[in-house]
Amino acid sequence: MSDSILNVSRRGFLQGIVSTGALILSVRMVPEFLWAAETSVGTHADRAALHPSLFVGIDTDGTVYLVAARSEMGTTSRTSVPLILADELDADWKRVKLEQAIGDKRYGDQDTDGSHSIRDGFGIMREAGATARLMLTQAAAQKWGVPVSECESDLHVIVHRRTKRKAGYGELAAAAAKLPVPKKEDLQFKPSSAWRYIGKGATSYDLADICTGKAGFGMDAHLEGMVFASVEHPPVLGGKVKSYDEKAPLQVKGVKQTIPIKPFTPPHHFQPLGGVAVIADNTWAAFQGRKKLNVSWDNGANASYNSDEYRKELQETARKPGKVARNIGDVDAVFAKGGKTMEAEYYLPHLAHATMEPPVAMADFRDGKVTIWAPTQSPQAVQETVAQELGIPPENVVCHVSLLGGGFGRKSKPDYAAEAAILSKAVGKPVKVVWSREDDIKFGYYHAVSAMYMKAALDEKGMPTAWLQRSVFPPIGSTFALNTTYGDGGDLGQGWIDLPFDIPNHRAENGPAENHVRIGWLRSVANIYHAFAAQSFANELAHASGRDSVEYLLELIGPARIIDVKATAPDYDNYDGSPAEFPLDTARMRRVVQLAAEKAGWGKRNLGKGSGMGIAVHRSFLTYVATVVEVEVDDKGEVKIPSVHTAVDAGIVVNPEATRAQFEGA
Amino acid sequence: MQIKVNGVERSYDGDPNLPLLWYVRDVLGLTGTKFGCGMALCGACTVHQDGKAIRSCVTSVSAAVGKEITTIEAVSKNGLHPVQEKWIEFNVPQCGYCQTGQIMQAISLLKDKPKPSDEDIDAGMAGNICRCGTYQRIRAAIKAAAGENA
């Protein structure tokens, strides 16, 4: 460990972290701003001449420092949220330097999950930008002795049109800093017609670094003197180590020691799974050492978990009445009358996140404090989890956020960062914990396995007069509380109790399911199985009635209207969005269906033998999406997908190119 | 043994079975080459051996003796490689973790097939996985780079 690292200066930290590029290995530098600034001296934004908000600082040289408090995992949150501020500030994006925030409650909610970074950030960023812009405008007016109302911003300058005077932001920063920070009610926001970046977007701030290998992912963290660790986890959730060979792993060249990690105390939450860690002087040696541990396990109650049996159990539960989560009219009365009915069952298995970058974290524990470097979607959860594990206050946990090589919800759960912290404390050195790909797949927080049962009564046109649906899945709540077997308003609000169809009798139910593995958020979360079941069933009904799927779907959605979901589903939470601002609007849903169908050439193209198109529409996390998939099946049953057309209505889109890319990838 | 990476020859006396991936990452600190699977299944670890793409996670250090190993850090002598330029122009990456491996594979592919067809690209890039699904842009960037090479 070099002195520069012991001396907690910002420079010291930066020298300790490797990036790449240099062939001269003794100089291990990280590109500036790639990793979070150090806490004790704050951010560049904090130290800039004008600093009216946590999120922005303007220096006398005109550099605008913007703080990205959300994580980057490929969706451009790190770029697009600060871009909103830059727009409102009228800042030149080329003169902006981004800084990644450490985990710190002062930034408010830093969770980059649940599709809410832009939604949450929009108002906060505009307010910060407008505040700085007003202060710069006031400083310019003062300097020129003219009324503030005669001055306005242009790109990175304040102008006085009448006298054609201009002053740059850098030039005005010091004078602006002497002014009181204006009140929110005195701010004037740019009209949308004047937006520079919102709706046009920008490429990722890290694009060139990613393409040249200079970008700093969690896997790339490095401190002088660090050691590498790999953990043999219990093969069953809740399993415990009975015994293991402490000596054999040491025969592997590079292996230094083994350290047991205690099992978690239920509920598992984000605690490490426990097991045995192997410490080595490179990652591979740690992997090899694990093979010689010969751990004997006490596997506990979940050892008999068998996904085939469990599937049957979920399906049987789904066939029985469950807890009513939404009710409209009386489906039972309609079914009792007889007439044509249809039933269907759907099942989706567990899914693993499989981020390209497996879970990884580096920690450096010293003097009762720990510094973590991690690819995390939730640096504050890292602080809380690590604090709990080490028995230290959360403010003694500094969490630097690297780029994430994929997140998808896995990296919201910081069990791997807690492992690094525990091991650094035990070893007395910086430790980087690396999960192998096998570890990632075997020990994930899986997307819930689910079974759905559907039943509809159909009128003479084939339209449902009653629609019953039951969903059964081990809920995410089981991560946080024991004996949680029913979904909550969040789980069920994701595409189950907000079915947007115009059906007079409808009931949505949820049956119980116990978890035997860790269950966690995976991109789109419960919408994955709920949309699959509801939209597949709609298509099956259309098919059974000999109707065109698009026409049928539009009739199911019914006329353009706002649906008050909560009136019939009391636990509905609308993704924590206010129903006034983010209503369930069937006009928008109809529009994406029509647009996707139109662009795909639905009903207009001559599809050959074995070819067809299917359509689905869904509102997920307040965004409306319709997708038409063209499928070809040849004589051998080989399936090809020649085209997919997707129409998306996400409201205001800050970065259209990034949004498009995500749908291409999906 | 002597290992030559990015034009610099170094002595190494550790485990000869150590995969090249971990040699360049953990020993040399060249972290542009990524760990994804350790079994040559994902391509994130792709480097060049004598100009050809190989999976560094299943190539031992000892097998690299006497060869010229090049990582993403040195794939271009000055500035950006034309393939990197196209990657930026087509805004290929999302999370970006696999992209250095994709780029190393694409450069190697274009050496073998300067004018690749869609099928050549699909075949040549089949071993490189992108979890964000940037395949359409990868294909477009490779085609554009091929145009520029001509």
Which CATH number characterizes residue B123's domain?
1.10.150.120
Residue of B nearest to A437 (CA): B37
Query: Are residues B57 and B16 part of one domain?
Result: yes
Tokens in use for A419?
């492992």
B42–A356 C-beta distance less than 8 A: yes
Q: Using CA atoms, how far apart are residues A55 and A163, in angstroms rounded to an integer?
A: 33
A214–B96 C-beta distance less than 8 A: no
Q: Using CA atoms, how far apart are residues A79 and A387, in angstroms rounded to an integer?
A: 30
Which residues are bridge partners to A648 per DSSP? Answer: A625
What pLDDT does residue A7 have? 26
CA-based nearest distance B24→chain A, Å: 10
Which one of A25, A76, A211, A217 makes the best mutation probe of the B interface by having the most chain B beta carbons within 10 Å? A211
Phi-psi region of A612 (alpha: psi -120 to 50; beta: other; left: phi over 0): beta
**Which residues of chain A neighbour B71 with C-beta distances below 8 Å?**
213
Angle at A90 between CA A69 and CA A128, to 5 degrees: 40
Give the helix/strand (H/E) hosting B28.
none
CA-based nearest distance A31→chain B, Å: 13
Closest by Cα among B6, B22, B43 to B125: B43
A609, with CB counted inside 10 A (0-12, 13-18, 19+), is exposed
Q: Is the pLDDT of residue A1 over 70?
A: no
What pLDDT does residue A643 have? 96
Query: Are residues B6 and B57 part of one domain?
Result: yes
| 3-state SS track over A393-412 | CHHHEEEEECECCCCCCHHH
A345, with CB counted inside 10 A (0-12, 13-18, 19+), is middle
Query: Are residues B69 and B10 part of one domain?
Result: yes
The whole-model pTM stands at 0.94
Which one of B4, B56, B94, B128 makes the best mutation probe of the A interface by having the most chain A beta carbons within 10 Å? B94
Last residue of a domain, one of B27, B58, B74: B74
Q: Which residue has the tokens 């039951």?
A: A470
Complete edge-to-edge strand list for the sheet that includes strand A157-160: A151-154, A157-160, A165-168
Tokens in use for A334?
């309609």
3-state secondary structure of B52: strand
A73–B88 C-beta distance less than 8 A: no
Q: Give the pLDDT mean for A300-317.
A: 96
Give residue A19's pLDDT band: very low, low, confident or very high (50, 70, 90). very low
Closest by Cα among A100, A104, A107, A133 to A218: A100
What pLDDT does residue A10 have? 32
Closest by Cα among B86, B109, B26 to A254: B26
Query: Are residues B95 and B37 part of one domain?
Result: no
Q: Contact A238/A266 with Cβ under 8 angstroms?
A: yes
Chain A and chain B share a number of CB contacts under 8 A equal to: 164
Last residue of a domain, one of B74, B98, B129: B74
Q: Using CA atoms, how far apart are residues B143 and B150, in angstroms rounded to an integer?
A: 11
CA distances from B75 to A26, A78, A475, B100, B108 (A): 21, 28, 48, 10, 11
Residue of A nearest to B128 (CA): A356
Residues 61-80 of B with CB under 8 A from A: 71-74, 80
Residue A85 has φ and ψ, to the nearest 5°, of -65, -45
CA-based nearest distance A248→chain B, Å: 17
Q: B30 in a domain, yes or no? A: yes
**Which residues of chain A neighbour B130 with C-beta distances below 8 Å?**
356, 665
What pLDDT does residue A35 have? 53
Residue A208 has φ and ψ, to the nearest 5°, of -65, -40
**Which residues of chain B neighbour A72 with C-beta distances below 8 Å?**
95
What's the maximum distance between 2 C-alpha atoms anywhere in chain B? 45
A204–B32 C-beta distance less than 8 A: no
Domain count along chain B? 2
Query: Are residues B116 and B97 part of one domain?
Result: yes
Note the Cα B13 to chain centre separation in Å: 25
Last residue of a domain, one of B74, B98, B114: B74
Phi-psi region of A400 (alpha: psi -120 to 50; beta: other; left: phi over 0): beta
Q: Contact A626/A539 with Cβ under 8 angstroms?
A: no
Give residue A602's pLDDT band: very low, low, confident or very high (50, 70, 90). very high
Tokens in use for A612?
């067809």
Q: Which of A212, A254, A357 sits opposite B15 (nearest CB)?
A: A254
Q: Which of A74, A358, A657 sits opposite B132 (nearest CB)?
A: A74
A406–B97 C-beta distance less than 8 A: yes
**Which pLDDT tens digit goes with each residue over A617-629?**
999 999 999 999 9
A405–B32 C-beta distance less than 8 A: no
Q: B21 in a domain, yes or no? A: yes
Query: Are residues B92 and B67 part of one domain?
Result: no
Query: Are residues B68 and B6 part of one domain?
Result: yes
Tokens in use for A558?
């019914």
Dihedral of alpha carbons B72, B74, B75, B78, sign: positive
Q: What CATH number corresponds to the domain at position B52?
A: 3.10.20.30
CA distances from A466 to A449, A531, A540, A589 (A): 27, 18, 15, 21
Residue A382 has φ and ψ, to the nearest 5°, of -60, -50
Q: Which domain holds residue B37?
A: 2-74
Query: Are residues B88 and B69 part of one domain?
Result: no
Q: Contact B32/A212 with Cβ under 8 angstroms?
A: yes
Q: B56 in a domain, yes or no? A: yes
**Which pLDDT tens digit goes with each residue over A470-499?**
999 999 999 999 999 999 999 999 999 999
A77, with CB counted inside 10 A (0-12, 13-18, 19+), is buried
How many beta carbons lie within 10 A of that of residue A605, not counting itself?
12
Q: Is the pLDDT of residue A100 over 50?
A: yes
Query: Are residues B6 and B70 part of one domain?
Result: yes
Q: B54 in a domain, yes or no? A: yes
Q: B26 in a domain, yes or no? A: yes
B95–A406 C-beta distance less than 8 A: yes
How many beta carbons lie within 10 A of that of residue A497, not counting itself?
29
Q: Is the pLDDT of residue A11 over 60?
A: no
Q: Which of B36, B87, B95 sits opposite A73 (nearest CB)?
A: B95
Complete edge-to-edge strand list for the sheet that includes strand A369-374: A255-261, A275-280, A227-232, A431-434, A360-366, A369-374, A397-401
What pLDDT does residue A377 have? 98
What pLDDT does residue A42 have? 83
Q: Which of B29, B33, B41 sits opposite A222 (nearest CB)?
A: B29
Q: B105 in a domain, yes or no? A: yes
Which one of A255, A284, A355 makes the best mutation probe of the B interface by having the most chain B beta carbons within 10 Å? A284
Residues 22-51 of B with CB under 8 A from A: 22, 25-39, 41-42, 44
A211–B103 C-beta distance less than 8 A: yes
Please list the helix, strand and coil fractions of chain B in percent, rounded to the nearest 5, in that order.
40, 15, 45
What pLDDT does residue A41 have? 61
Give residue A145's pLDDT band: very low, low, confident or very high (50, 70, 90). very high
| 3-state SS track over A464-523 | EEEEEEEEECCCHHHHCCCCCCCCCHHHHHCCCCCCCCCCCEEEEEEECCCCCCCECCCC
What pLDDT does residue A265 have? 97
Give residue A188's pLDDT band: very low, low, confident or very high (50, 70, 90). very high
Predicted complex: ipTM over 0.85? yes
Q: Contact A55/A66 with Cβ under 8 angstroms?
A: yes
Closest by Cα among A627, A621, A615 to A664: A627
Residues sharing a CB contact under 8 Å with residue A585, sequence separation 6 or more, in sequence order = A560, A561, A562, A563
Give yes or no for B122 touching A (CB within 8 A).
no
Closest by Cα among A301, A297, A294 to A235: A297
**Which residues of chain A neighbour B27 with C-beta distances below 8 Å?**
282
Q: B90 in a domain, yes or no? A: yes
Q: B150 in a domain, yes or no? A: no
- Say if residue A82 is preceded by a cis peptide, omega within 30 of 0: no
3-state secondary structure of B55: strand
What one-character DSSP code corresponds to residue A627?
Answer: E
Question: What angle, rounded to 10 degrees, do the helices at B99-112 and B118-125 form?
Answer: 130
CA-based nearest distance A406→chain B, Å: 6
Query: Are residues B125 and B66 part of one domain?
Result: no
The pLDDT profile of chain B, 150 residues, written as one tens digit per residue, is: 999 999 999 999 999 999 999 999 999 999 999 999 999 999 999 999 999 999 999 999 999 999 999 999 999 988 999 999 999 999 999 999 999 999 999 999 999 999 999 999 999 999 999 999 999 999 999 999 999 654
Query: Are residues B128 and B93 part of one domain?
Result: yes
Q: Which residue has the tokens 């977007």?
A: A201
Residue A76 has φ and ψ, to the nearest 5°, of 70, 25
Query: Are residues B88 and B130 part of one domain?
Result: yes
**Which residues of chain B neighbour A74 with C-beta distances below 8 Å?**
93-96, 132
What pLDDT does residue A606 have? 87
Q: Give the pLDDT mean for A34-40.
A: 51
